[in-house]
Amino acid sequence: MNWVLVGSLLSCLFLGASSALIAPQVIILSMFTSEANVWYGIPEFNVLAQNTTIPGLSPLFPQIHCTADGTICQLTLGEGEINAATSIAALVFSPLTNLTSTYFLIAGIAGVNPKVATIGSVTFARYAVQVALQMEIDAREIPANFSTGYFPQDSTGPGDFPGTFYGTEVFEVNDALRQLAFSAAQMAQLNDTEAAIQLRAQYAASPDFAPANNVSGPSVVLCDTATSDNFWDGALLGEAFENTTKVFTNQTGVYCSTQQEDNATLEALLRGALSGLVDFSRVIVMRTTSDFDRQPPGETALEQVLGPSPGHTPAVANLHLAGVEVVEMIAEGWSATFENGVPPTNYIGDVFGSLGGNPDFGPGSRFGGEPANNA
């Protein structure tokens, strides 16, 4: 028996066990099957080389998928705020993962404000706003001077500043990283379809909707995202949440894409960051746009929400086409740039200031500009 060999075998086994921790450079976060499928069977990399079950993930999507070398992974969270937060918390707090250096690419489809961009576009957000975290009365029962049934918590009407924050109302992510992702995504040749072009043309009648009716087709856009479990549609709710985004971000946020998960994902990542398990400066919020948040002139809100959604095909295709540029930017630039991180120059974190620093929105840090006690 060669004890040196046995010893090195044992240490290999030991190292093997510790290096078996899931510690990718990038995790792509999808919310449902058609968003996930664009990452399978692609020429650039194979995330189906390793499948690992992580306790606490969605029963529909119990496994994380990774490349053979473990540098790129993809996880499907499940749809809506609760699924997103729970899946991310399970991932981040799992003994199977080490995500301290990992970049998180939220890569999902979204609704879009026709005043800001068009369907098929690729957006990168700085702010994520949980717009429906408010009080609500049905529009048929609102007072004559209310413009909408939604008004902030602990306030007396629409447009007021909230008297109470739960902490998830607004997140701000690393703008320097966002700019790098934006530049990388611009190298993609985006997908478009004839049906999407025809829907855009229906917005031509309103000058406000010039970005929706953009004859040059989809593009890569820097604009913010709104989260709600509630899949709203229509001109009035669209405008109400435009207003909410401005109030919650002290006028800096640009209400552009709409989705059902991102503030939940960001809150769970923030909790991971408070526990030293995640670097919150490594989060990218990419949403491609599949449908307009409100009807074109001459159509009702209900016709719009129940009607065809021709932006779905290019939006899903563009998750891969633009997202792969971002993933490759990180993987190829790993040792030169990304391993050590991209230092943020803007505030990053939540409305409480939990990670330290002073938010440029909301009522001010709860922690006097210092990190929270559990940071």
Ligand X SMILES: *[C@@H]1O[C@H](CO)[C@@H](O)[C@H](O)[C@H]1NC(C)=O
- Give residues in contact with ligand X (CB under 6 A): 18, 21, 23, 48-49, 51, 98, 100-101, 125, 127-130, 133, 143, 145-148, 156-159, 161, 168-173, 191-193, 210-211, 214, 216, 219, 224-225, 227, 236, 239-240, 243, 248-250, 262-263, 266, 285, 313-314, 317, 359-364
CB 29 within 8 A of CB 307: no
C-alpha separations of 298 from 24, 206, 295, 301 in Å:
49, 10, 8, 10
Q: Rank residues 6 and 68 by Cβ distance to ligand X and give the closer one.
A: 68
Cα first-last separation, the chain: 50
Q: Which residue has the tokens 């919650």?
A: 248
Residue 79 or 224: which CB sits closer to ligand X?
A: 224
What is the rounded distance in angstroms from the CA atom of residue 81 to the CA atom of residue 62? 17
CA–CA gap between residue 222 and residue 259 (Å, rounded): 16
Nearer to ligand X, 260 or 313 (CB): 313
Q: How far is the CB of 317 from ligand X (least distance, A)?
A: 4
Identify the bridge partners of residue 124 per DSSP, sorted by sequence position: 222, 286
| Residue whose CB is less far from ligand X, 103 or 361 | 361
Residue 28 φ then ψ, to 5°: -90, 125
Q: How far is the CB of 1 from ligand X (least distance, A)?
A: 31
- For 46, other C-beta atoms within 10 Å of its C-beta total 16
3-state helix, strand, coil in the chain (%, to 5): 35, 20, 50
Measured from each CB, the residue nearest to ligand X is 128
- Least separation in angstroms between residue 328's CB and ligand X is 19
**Cβ proximity to ligand X, 15 vs 302, nearer residue:** 15
- β-bridge partners, 255: 224
Residue 6 or residue 40: which is nearer to ligand X going by CB? 40
Q: How far is the CB of 75 from ligand X (least distance, A)?
A: 12
Q: At closest approach, how far in Å is the CB of 367 from ligand X? A: 15
Which residues, 6+ apart, have CB-to-CB distance to 174 below 8 Å? 280, 281, 282, 283, 342, 344, 346, 348
Query: Min. distance of Cβ 4 from ligand X in angstroms?
Result: 26
What HEC string does 299-330 produce? Answer: CCHHHHHHCCCCCHHHHHHHHHHHHHHHHHHH
Minimum distance from residue 2 beta carbon to ligand X (Å): 29
* Closer residue to ligand X, CB minimum distance, 8 or 346: 346
* CB atoms inside a 10 Å sphere around CB 161: 12
Q: Smallest distance from the beta carbon of 185 to ligand X, in angstroms?
A: 12
Distance of closest approach, residue 73 Cβ to ligand X, in angstroms: 12
- Closest to ligand X by CB, 31 vs 128, is 128
Cβ proximity to ligand X, 176 vs 236, nearer residue: 236
CA distance 328 to 45: 10
Residue 176, classified by CB atoms within 10 Å of its CB into exposed (0-12), middle (13-18) or buried (19+), is middle
What are the angstrom distances between the C-alpha of 320 and each of 71, 146, 327?
A: 17, 42, 10
Which C-beta is closer to ligand X: that of 4 or that of 304? Answer: 304
